[in-house]
Amino acid sequence: MTAKPAAAAARATVYGYPRQGQNRELKRAVEGYWKGRVTADALRQTAADLRRSNWQQLADAGITEVPTGDFSYYDHVLDTSVMVGAVPERHRAAVEADALDGFFAMARGTQDVAPLEMTKWFDTNYHYLVPELGPDTVFTADSTKQVAELTEALALGHAARPVLVGPVTYLLLAKPAPGVAADFQPLTLLDRLLPVYAQVLADLHAAGAEWVQLDEPALVQDRTPADLNAAARTYRELGALPDRPKLLVASYFDRLGDALQVLAAAPVEGLALDFTEGAAANLADLAAVGGLPGKRLVAGVVNGRNIWINDFQKSLTTLGTLLGLADRVDVAASCSLLHVPLDANAERDVDPQIRRWLAFARQKTTEITTLARGLAQGTDAIAAELAANRADLASRAGSAITRDPAVRARTAAVTDADGRRSQPYAQRTVAQRAHLGLPLLPTTTIGSFPQTNELRTARADLRAGRIDTAGYEERIKDEIREVLSFQEKTGIDVLVHGEPERNDMVQYFAEQLTGYLATQHGWVQSYGTRYVRPPVLAGDISRPEPMTVRWTSYAQSQTTKPVKGMLTGPVTMLAWSFVRDDQPLGDTARQVALALRDEVGDLEAAGTSVIQVDEPALRETLPLRAADHAGYLAWATESFRLTTSGVRPDTQIHTHMCYAEFGDIVRAIDDLDADVISLEAARSHMQVADELAEHGYPREAGPGVWDIHSPRIPSAQEAAALLRKGLRAIPAERLWVNPDCGLKTRGWTETRASLENLVAAAHEVRADL
């Protein structure tokens, strides 16, 4: 394949870049500001320095048009709320008194005022602050931040393109403000919002913007005809503005589907589309609508949310096809690079053989410019890069790390029976009742206990060599004993060891599994100043030795009550890691499941009668389009069953879920065939209990009766009232008593009081039965 040179030189661009800086300077500056250690001016200076350095990195890599306005002190959707004047009433005074402090008050709340709600940005692990709108919302344009950042970039000599959250996506992501009817549809505010966008566009035009990008990822989800009409009207109206820059409407994370036709017909000058694996249908769809004659097409061929090197040959083929479908084709990452870490070269500890397969943000920008050069000048111009890329890909495909014959043989031999328990739930529950001898409404917790400063210090001491492994393990054992004795004293029925040895519920396992890679500097923004380092599923997964058995056994040796074994499930392992792109997700899940299955077996053999496999991410990983749900749920539930089905009937399997509403996946939850599920429910007043009942969920369940996300201590009466409510949906033989989630972020004071109240509530309600 040799791509012919394009008529006009293709430009290379990105939609956004990691904000934090090489050493997470932004986190330190923002948190320092909150603590009063950094002045507002110093914070602004740090931010400006980071933007300058990011743009320079992009320009040095050959990116010909840099994004502006993607930077944020906290979240770019919150910036958008400020831009359109959608400040909730309760924050207005603070914002008027001081824009920066008011901004942080909206993000984090204050002593007296609640923050905006936070939720996941599509199916990524980034969280945005949900706009709160109502029929009384009055929008006003404030383009200060957008204009300032554009001006900065232009003054530094960059060709710059401001990036805004598009008006349709903004409204579709919003929710009714507190006090507004729950069925209020923010999209009905479109007519009020468009003049504000018109003003911002005019301001950016006046400030020198040739192009402005409007991000509309909400259009890759299943949309109603009314939504699509709103999109059509939006771009008809914005396109008709007399005083405006050229408009680039960007979509990412999936195929545009029906929205493609709408945007292709809109009077805007450019579209940006995702052409990576998951959105590959965009290519045929684009041909089917007759391409984008007269328009600029920005082709997202470099995956912006995984960390693997691009396949140049494949991308050039796609780009070559696209040349025939648009007036001009530019090259980009599929979405903002916000979702990947900054620099793979900073990973000094990663096996160099694996490092050559990795592309973080910096490496991706180079890939984009290489592809743009190949597209513009022909493949001969990038012959050396192509050869190197081919070699890197071949090294990955042929490596013993990605092809472990033992793992492959084992996954290939999996039968349907491996994913089925030997007896159905109805029989198992009888055996478990006899084996465990628990009272009605048994009490338990979700796994972790407060991660105290002493524990964090112990881990830091171990890393720094101030204590040795034996010394560290003594401290862990002390902690386990303390957690157990508290639970015994309080009268909890099924105990946990408290997870003191775990840094993180995914990383802890990733570090012990072969084929899984932890990064040292691979920070990715989760929300605000919280960054996570997702591990990398790099190769075939196997478990060289037991991972949790000694801690669980140690805990069990200290008590006669059952101690619950505690594992992270395969779906959540995948959801909170960077996944392989060279095999279906289901194959990777199956490998992880088999490794965990061995752990479950070893726990059982060591005398563990109750084993919990956490799947908090099961719901959040649901694909964006309904048509893809069944395929996902099939491999997701299969991998859970594969993990848990090897045990005896009288061994009780628990699972745990949180961070989501579950009404729409009760069938899938049932398909897990777990004996007991604990769910987040306290904040929704036990609504999940009703949802489980409505769907005829036949197993045991513990809807949480303590909202652990708040330091508030629930009283025994309050918890008892929730339990009584739960009893209306779930019979006493199947109802468990537990908090909403793990306690690692809580302090001991409220943990003690709350769990005592939970146990008191269980006693009180048992007495009525």
The beta-strand segments (E) located in 377-532 are 514-517, 524-527, 530-532
299: Cβ–Cβ under 8 A, 6 or more apart, which residues?
Answer: 272, 273, 275, 318, 319, 322, 329, 330, 331, 332
448 annotated among ligand-binding-site residues: yes
Q: Does 305 bind ligand GLN (CB under 6 A)?
A: no
3 state DSSP class of 299: strand
In angstroms, what is the minimal distance from the CB of 743 to ligand GLN?
7
For strand 514-517 and strand 66-68, is the pairing parallel, antiparallel, or unpaired? Answer: unpaired
**Binder among 741, 761, 762, 765 for ligand GLN (CB under 6 A):** 741
Judged by CB, which is closer to ligand GLN: 247, or 446?
A: 446
* Residue range at the interface with ligand GLN (CB under 6 A); choices 146-154, 369-377, 445-453, 482-490: 445-453
486: Cβ–Cβ under 8 A, 6 or more apart, which residues?
Answer: 752, 755
**Binder among 199, 706, 742, 750 for ligand GLN (CB under 6 A):** 742
Q: DSSP H helical segments within 175-224, as ranges?
A: 190-206
In angstroms, what is the minimal distance from the CB of 446 to Zn ion?
6
Judged by CB, which is closer to Zn ion: 296, or 744?
A: 744
Whole-number Å distance between alpha carbons of 39 and 44? 9
505 binds, among ligand GLN, Zn ion, none (CB under 5 to 8 A by kind): ligand GLN
741 annotated among ligand-binding-site residues: yes
CB 176 within 8 A of CB 133: yes
Q: Does 505 bind ligand GLN (CB under 6 A)?
A: yes
576 annotated among ligand-binding-site residues: yes
CB 525 within 8 A of CB 16: no
In angstroms, what is the minimal distance from the CB of 708 to ligand GLN?
9
447 binds, among ligand GLN, Zn ion, none (CB under 5 to 8 A by kind): ligand GLN
In angstroms, what is the minimal distance from the CB of 462 to ligand GLN?
21
Site for ligand GLN in 448-467 (CB under 6 A): 448
709 catalytic per annotation: yes
The beta-strand segments (E) located in 121-170 are 127-129, 132-133, 160-165
**Binder among 216, 493, 614, 690 for ligand GLN (CB under 6 A):** 614
Compute the chain's Rg from CA coordinates.
27
* Residue range at the interface with ligand GLN (CB under 6 A); choices 169-177, 444-452, 542-550, 702-710: 444-452
CB 253 within 8 A of CB 306: no
**Binder among 198, 613, 658, 672 for ligand GLN (CB under 6 A):** 658
* Residue type for position 465: G
382 annotated among ligand-binding-site residues: no
**Binder among 447, 515, 726, 739 for ligand GLN (CB under 6 A):** 447
Q: Does 616 bind ligand GLN (CB under 6 A)?
A: yes
In angstroms, what is the minimal distance from the CB of 687 to Zn ion?
17
DSSP string, 535-557: -EEEEEEE-SS-SSHHHHHHHHH
Among 205, 435, 629, 709, the active-site one is 709
* Residue range at the interface with ligand GLN (CB under 6 A); choices 166-174, 228-236, 262-270, 440-448: 440-448
656 annotated among ligand-binding-site residues: yes
153: Cβ–Cβ under 8 A, 6 or more apart, which residues?
Answer: 51, 55, 66, 68, 160
* Footprint of Zn ion (CB under 5 A): 616, 658, 741
Judged by CB, which is closer to Zn ion: 231, or 679?
A: 679
CB 85 within 8 A of CB 93: no
3 state DSSP class of 613: strand
Q: Taking Cα atoms as reference points, which of 334, 472, 309, 411 lies closest to residue 639?
A: 411
Annotated binding site for L-homocysteine: 446-448, 499, 614
Q: Which residues bind ligand GLN (CB under 6 A)?
A: 446-448, 499, 505, 566, 614, 616, 656, 658, 741-742, 744
- Active site amino acids: 709
